[in-house]
Structure 1
Amino acid sequence: MQPSDWSFFYLLHTQPQVMQFVADLESEEKIMARFNTRSQPWSKEDNSWLTLSIVEKESGQLVGFSGFLSRWSDYKKAEVGFLFAPQFQGVGYGYESLKAVLEYAFLKCGFHKMTATVTEGNTASVALLQKAGFNLEGRLVDNYQIAGRWCNDLLFARFNQ
């Protein structure tokens, strides 16, 4: 992720349609702090996010972000995450970027397990993860609150095999 990606990062994090299954909308200051943290140099040992900008080849336009939160030190695992602009959802960018992220994490970094946490009801993310070989490992009831409503989380995983 580059400093020039800030405006797009901010835009995605302030769109209710994008954030409905992710988290409550936050202030610009909190979004900026997240951006600054995620745009730092990354090492798998740091237990931090590797956030990658996803760019459309033909136009050079940013379409979303993908990456993972490393938990290398303790477990050699990581949690994947992705966020795409509404007009680029459901057209294959999520799957292509997730395949690339998994290849990098497993083959280049040597992670053992990749996980994903999905808010129940986010059928698009569930379908994407299953297409990429993730399996449902569990369901956490009333695990997270979005817009004052308790939500269940679905836990997915894929192993380096």
Structure 2
Amino acid sequence: EDAKFIAETTSHGEVRAHLGRTPRPVNKSQEKEHIENLSSDDDSVHFIIEYQGAKVGHIFIGDLEKEYGRSHVGYFIHPDYHGQGIGTKSLKMVVTYTFETLNRHKIRGGFLEGNPASRRVMEKAGFQEEGTERDYKYVDGEWKNVTWMSILEDEYYD
């Protein structure tokens, strides 16, 4: 069920564009194989976001660089559930998990230009802008910049 949900949601035009994915045929079996590969990866932790009994999104902590004390966060929410605070609440929960359970010093995340909602989610979770990386990803025939944001453990505990 998770594989089907992720395949359907990441194929949605709005989600795909904000993730910077090019159109690709993704079916349940391909996504299941992808999830199984992620499950065997010691470098990431993935969560399905549920709201009122429905699967509405996915959030992960990746690049679990223990020696450097930092991790990367990424997420998506199905468009039917945008604007309800689900992304913000989910990110705050993962920030808590990352600092209090994984004992990281820094969490970093980014969003492609044209996605101000993701900036707001990160700001509400305490992230601060680090900078913009130009021409980060080629999406739908054009180069897109990414803005990187982060939160440090002392900012979280303050």
Q: Distance in 1 between matches of 2:33 and 2:10?
A: 12
- Cα deviation code 1:94-138 (max 9, x no counterpart): 011111100000001101100001101210000110111101101
After superposition, the Cα gap between the structure-2 partners of 1:137 and 1:152, relative to the gap in structure 1 and judged at 3 Å, is same
Q: Distance in 2 between matches of 1:143 and 1:18?
A: 18
Please show how residues 1-161 of structure 1 align to structure 2 within 5 Å.
4-22=1-19, 23-28=21-26, 31-38=31-38, 40=39, 46-47=42-43, 49-56=44-51, 58=52, 60-161=53-154
Q: CA deviation at 1:160?
A: 0.8
Unaligned runs of 5+ in 1: none
Unaligned runs of 5+ in 2: none
Q: Distance in 1 between matches of 2:33 and 2:68?
A: 27
* Conserved 8 A contact 2:4-2:31: no
* Conserved 8 A contact 1:140-1:152: yes
Q: Distance in 1 between matches of 2:31 and 2:140?
A: 17
After superposition, the Cα gap between the structure-2 partners of 1:74 and 1:147, relative to the gap in structure 1 and judged at 3 Å, is farther
Q: Distance in 1 between matches of 2:104 and 2:72?
A: 11
- Cα deviation code 1:30-85 (max 9, x no counterpart): 644432223x156xxx32x21101111x3x11011112113324422111111111
- Specify the code of the residue in structure 1 equivalent to 2:24: E
- Specify the code of the residue in structure 2 equivalent to 1:95: T
Q: CA deviation at 1:140?
A: 0.9
TM-score (normalised: structure 2): 0.88
After superposition, the Cα gap between the structure-2 partners of 1:25 and 1:33, relative to the gap in structure 1 and judged at 3 Å, is farther
* Conserved 8 A contact 2:3-2:31: no
Report how many residues are paired.
Answer: 151
Q: Distance in 2 between matches of 1:70 and 1:143?
A: 18
SS class of match (2:18): coil
* Conserved 8 A contact 1:9-1:35: no
SS class of match (1:109): coil
Q: Distance in 2 between matches of 1:127 and 1:154?
A: 12
